[in-house]
């Protein structure tokens, strides 16, 4: 199969080419994001391989189908950026990598919690300047603290396990409770109770119409004053403008983000020579108690290896006409 790989970074090329040694497909790499203007790049390809900020809306799905594309292979787990119904209607099959390393994202979540709590991001800069004072760096013991985990699937369950290792009390909320988390000692409660009782809240549910701005003005107001909020899932789970107001009032005590609703035009690019155009993001960067990473929670060697191997296996299974356990959509 000839596959157009969009949003390619050097690490994508390296890991996908390595995994492709066992499959022998023709991989054509493009830096560009897939969107309405870039679909012509897929002309003559059997499939496209895309990542979190590539967009397949109804128009792009139609254009891909016209270009001869039959397969969309997501090299990620989340699929909120693909209109599955439109893809299906245009005769496209969509596959993804449902699980590659839940540990990568879960461990990054803990890194954000620990860094924010102990102000590591500030201490690092301070010590480099020769400032060894401790004012403003005081944290709290995690032991015995209540942490609310929203979404207890693959990643959320690992987060629960890690938090239990710190002897935290874990409250969980999920539309489908996970027995593994109950066995780990998490207590499932309503979303309202979780928000009211938690010292730290961390988001691990997918972005869908029903979870859009799940954490907005009302949810923030219902949380414990000074609560820490972590989002390593998808940006639009959080209303960032509401978070800014909650940070200004002190209601939100710390905010750790690996994802941002409008990240598509910024993340994964070096914009350090340009003026930041997103005023909400720029305001978030001014808070001492906000720590933002640029969608790197997945970024471990193990995860990239698993992503590449599963993506190539998905493509080969499609080429053979074999079963597609990782299919999200099939031709209507
Ligand atoms: P998963 O499908 O295994 O788990 C998601 C859980 O959310 C499920 O248990 C599901 O029942 C629950 N859920 C669904 N709707 C819900 C709702 N309305 N309220 C509460 N819970 C709900 O997915 P996962 O592998 O654990 O990944 C979780 C999310 O993490 C993905 O959707 C993706 O957006 C994000 N992610 C981020 C990165 C990163 O690098 N930052 C990497 C991978 C995944």
Instruction: For residues 261 and 154, give the distance between their C-alpha atoms in angstroms, rounded to a whole number.
Output: 22
- The dihedral formed by the CA atoms of 28, 30, 34 and 39, expressed in degrees to the nearest 10: -60
Buried b / exposed e along 230-266 (16+ C-beta atoms within 10 A): bbbbbbbbbbbbbbbebbeeebbbbbbbbbbbebbeb
Answer for the pair 30, 46: CB distance below 8 angstroms, yes or no. Answer: no
Helix (H) or strand (E) holding 26: strand 26-29
Res 330: pLDDT: 97
CA of 205 to the centre of ligand 1 (A): 3
Closest listed residue to residue 19, CA positions, set 325, 303, 236: 303
Looking at residue 80, what is its pLDDT? 93
pLDDT given for residue 157 in this prediction:
98
DSSP character string of 223-262: SPTTEEEEE-S-GGGB-HHHHHHHHHHTSEEEEEES--TT
Tell me, what's the pLDDT at 6?
98
- 17 among known catalytic residues: no
pLDDT for residue 114: 98
Contact between residue 237 and residue 255 where contact means Cβ atoms under 8 Å apart? no
Decide the pairing of beta strands 327-329 and 47-50. Answer: unpaired
Residue 270 CA from chain centroid, whole number: 19
Q: Which residues pair with 290 in a beta bridge?
A: 255
Distance CA(231)–CA(233), nearest Å, equals 6
Pocket of ligand 1 from Cβ distances under 6 Å:
77-78, 99, 102, 105, 150-156, 173-176, 204-207, 210-211, 232-234, 258-259, 295, 297-298
Residue to probe by mutation, ligand 1, list 150, 155, 191, most atoms within 8 Å of CB:
155
pLDDT of 124 reads 98
Centre a 10 Å sphere on the Cβ of residue 209 and count the other Cβ atoms it contains.
Answer: 6
Cα(36)–Cα(58) distance, rounded to whole angstroms? 10
Q: Ligand 1 test: best mutation among 51, 52, 77, 178, most atoms within 8 Å of CB?
A: 77
Q: Is 180 marked active-site? A: no
Label residue 181 exposed, middle or buried (CB < 10 Å: 0-12, 13-18, 19+): buried
Per annotation, catalytic residue among 295, 301, 302, 330:
295
Assess whether 119 carries a catalytic annotation: no
In the numeric block, which tokens belong to residue 273?
């020579």
Q: According to the model, what pLDDT value does residue 275 have? A: 96
Q: In what order do the strands lie in the sheet with 252-257?
A: 187-188, 169-173, 146-150, 200-203, 227-231, 252-257, 290-292
In DSSP notation, 85-152 reads HHHHHTT-EEE----S-HHHHHHHHHHHHHHHHHTHHHHHHHHHTT----TT------TT-EEEEE--
Tokens of 297: 């929670």
Question: Dihedral of CA 281/284/286/292: which sign?
Answer: negative
Closest CA relative to residue 177, chosen from 165, 164, 194, 162: 194
Alpha carbon distance 139, 291 (integer Å): 15
Which residue, among 303, 323, 330, has the nearest Cα to 97 in the 3D structure?
Answer: 303
Instruction: Please list the pLDDT of the chain residue by residue as tens digits (332 residues).
Output: 999 999 999 999 999 999 999 999 999 999 999 999 999 999 999 999 999 999 999 999 999 999 999 999 999 998 999 999 999 999 999 999 999 999 999 999 999 999 999 999 999 999 999 999 999 999 999 999 999 999 999 999 999 999 999 999 999 999 999 999 999 999 999 999 999 999 999 999 999 999 999 999 999 999 999 999 999 999 999 999 999 999 999 999 999 999 999 999 999 999 999 999 999 999 999 999 999 999 999 999 999 999 999 999 999 999 999 999 999 999 99
Q: What is the pLDDT of residue 316?
A: 98
Structure tokens at 299: 């970024």
According to the model, what pLDDT value does residue 290 have? 98
Please tell me which residue in 263, 269, 274, 283 is annotated as part of the active site.
263
Sheet with 47-50: strands ordered across = 26-29, 2-5, 47-50, 71-74, 93-95, 327-329
């Amino acid at each position: 199969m000839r596959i157009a790989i969009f949003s390619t970074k050097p690490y994508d090329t390296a890991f996908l080419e390595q995994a492709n040694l066992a499959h022998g497909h023709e991989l054509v790499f493009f830096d560009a994001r897939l969107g309405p203007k870039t679909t012509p790049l897929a002309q003559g390809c059997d499939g496209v391989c895309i990542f979190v900020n590539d967009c397949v809306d109804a128009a792009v799905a139609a254009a891909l189908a016209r270009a001869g594309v039959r397969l969309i292979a997501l090299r990620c787990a989340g699929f909120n950026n693909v209109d599955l119904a439109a893809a299906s209607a245009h005769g496209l099959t969509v596959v993804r990598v449902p699980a590659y390393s839940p540990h990568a994202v879960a461990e990054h979540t803990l890194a954000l919690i620990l860094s924010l709590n102990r102000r590591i991001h500030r201490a690092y800069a301070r010590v480099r300047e020769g400032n060894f004072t401790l004012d403003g760096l005081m944290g709290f013991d995690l032991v015995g603290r209540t942490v609310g985990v929203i979404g207890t699937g693959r990643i959320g369950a690992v987060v629960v396990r890690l938090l239990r290792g710190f002897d935290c009390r874990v409250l969980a909320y999920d539309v489908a409770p996970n027995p593994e988390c109950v066995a780990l000692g998490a207590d499932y409660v309503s979303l309202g109770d979780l928000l009211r009782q938690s010292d730290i809240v961390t988001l691990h549910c997918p972005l869908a119409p029903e979870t859009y701005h799940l954490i907005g003005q009302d949810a923030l107001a219902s949380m414990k004053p000074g609560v820490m909020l972590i989002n390593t899932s998808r940006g639009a789970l959080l209303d960032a403008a509401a978070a800014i107001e909650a940070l200004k009032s002190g209601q939100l005590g710390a905010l750790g983000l690996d994802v941002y609703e409008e990240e598509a035009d910024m993340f994964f690019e070096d914009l350090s020579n340009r003026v930041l155009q997103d005023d909400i993001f720029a305001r978030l960067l001014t808070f001492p108690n906000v720590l933002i990473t640029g969608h790197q929670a997945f970024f471990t060697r193990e995860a990239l290896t698993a992503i590449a191997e599963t993506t190539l296996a998905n493509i080969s299974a499609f080429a053979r006409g074999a079963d597609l356990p990782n299919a999200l959509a099939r031709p209507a």
